[in-house]
A and B are shown apart, each in its own frame.
Chain A
């Protein structure tokens, strides 16, 4: 993917439905949880914390909030755009 990426923390990670993927859950800025399947190459572990590679879109007016583009839409929102804390 692009080098213009960032990594967001994963709330929960499990093996996916295929060996090349993970099932991941992401916590939203508003506290909700969304989930999706992602290729394993898009996940990295750092200090015991797993992170997902995403494309940052913009900072919201609130400075601790960021809109990102996920690799796929989430099951819960049917959208690849989410707001997360940063």
Chain B
């Protein structure tokens, strides 16, 4: 069941999930729509580099670390927005940080990122393959932004970039055993392999 603007605000007030910062919790005003919340673009655009010497095989380990090393972060501002050229692809994130926790005995929620019809008119896609925000996710939502239109398009921070549709997850997605309840330190771990730091 998709939550209405009123239900979204009620859940935010009850702490069942978080979307921060939103500025206010008046469901009759932006960023709330009747059944979604508009989210804004963050301040970093990440451009995949074309310096990859070999094709990517996701079966090999460390793909995330590899992707991070072969991309370039660009900070954007209102004075220096990013010009997304026609038929180019970049990654962005939402300005808002979201948290859809999984907690025993509480209703949990998931969400879907959807584009905006106004941007679609220019050929701008913001989530063309990965719209689902699963229960248990916490963080800023990554956006896959591509310009299918004929003209360059400026991306600037805090522009309305997408909308979030929130749904109830019926039933318990995971069963948390009692021996772990309340455990929130690494003390329960018997072994700690060495970690290579950056």
Contacts and interface: CB of A to CB of B under 8 A. Distances in A.
Nearest to B70: A17
B63 A14 contact: no
B91 interface: yes
B54 interface: no
Interface in A12-49: 12-21, 23-25, 27, 32-39, 41-42, 44, 46, 48-49
Given A2-B101, A9-B193, A16 B64 contact: yes
Q: Which 4 A-B pairs have the closest CB atoms?
A: A33-B61, A39-B139, A35-B64, A75-B63
Contacts of A58: 175, 177
B197 A18 contact: no
Interface size grouping (class) on chain B: 35 or more
B53 interface: no
A74 B75 CA distance: 27
B138 A1 contact: yes
Contacts of A44: 186
B195 A75 contact: no
Contact of A86 (B63, B91, B188, B194): B188
B102 A55 contact: yes
A4 B186 contact: no
Contact of A46 (B137, B179, B186): B186
B183 interface: yes
B65 A35 contact: yes
Contacts of B185: 7
Given A1-B136, A13-B197, A56 B176 contact: yes
